[in-house]
Amino acid sequence: MLTLDILGAVGLDLFFRGQSVWHISLNGSAIQLRRAAFWDMVERDRWSLTLPRPTGTDTIKALGDEVLSLTIGASPETPWQGCGPLSADPGHHSLGTANESNPRAAHRSLAVVTSKKDYGHHTGGPVLNSSALT
């Protein structure tokens, strides 16, 4: 039931979104989890889930017992809505606590590499020397 793919997807959802939602169904005698791309809690125990498939999406209505919802970083005002560590919202958790007045500064350690020239490496094939090209 909980394969490495599912655990990895849950981790990514929680890290980036703060919430991971899955539809629980039976496939014969096996329990199957399908990841929800979008979701909405219609009532306290009723969900509207959009489940991706190779040729489009399925939108289904599900009861609370058919949904696995994991949440981290929820605030007391919105306990049903998670907040991942990468959130830039100052009212939520951030990766660092060194500069609480500027939550975006805590994310500078996650900067994107802007040039392969600075961080590239050789992965095989003949090595060309720049002096041999001239």
Residue 32 is assigned to a structural domain of this protein = yes
Residue 106 is assigned to a structural domain of this protein = no
Residue 112 is assigned to a structural domain of this protein = no
Residue 127 is assigned to a structural domain of this protein = no
Residue 130: the pLDDT is 52
- Give the structural domain span for 78: 4-100
- Residue 64 phi, psi dihedral angles, 5° rounding: -55, -35
CB atoms within 10 A of CB 16: 13
Residue 81 is assigned to a structural domain of this protein = yes
Q: Tell me the pTM.
A: 0.62
For the chain, strand residue ranges (E) read 19-27, 30-35, 38-43, 46-53, 56-63, 67-71
Number of domains composing the chain: 1
CB atoms within 10 A of CB 115: 7
9-33 pLDDT, tens digit each: 999 999 988 999 999 998 888 899 9
Residue 108 is assigned to a structural domain of this protein = no
72-98 pLDDT, tens digit each: 988 888 877 888 887 655 554 444 444
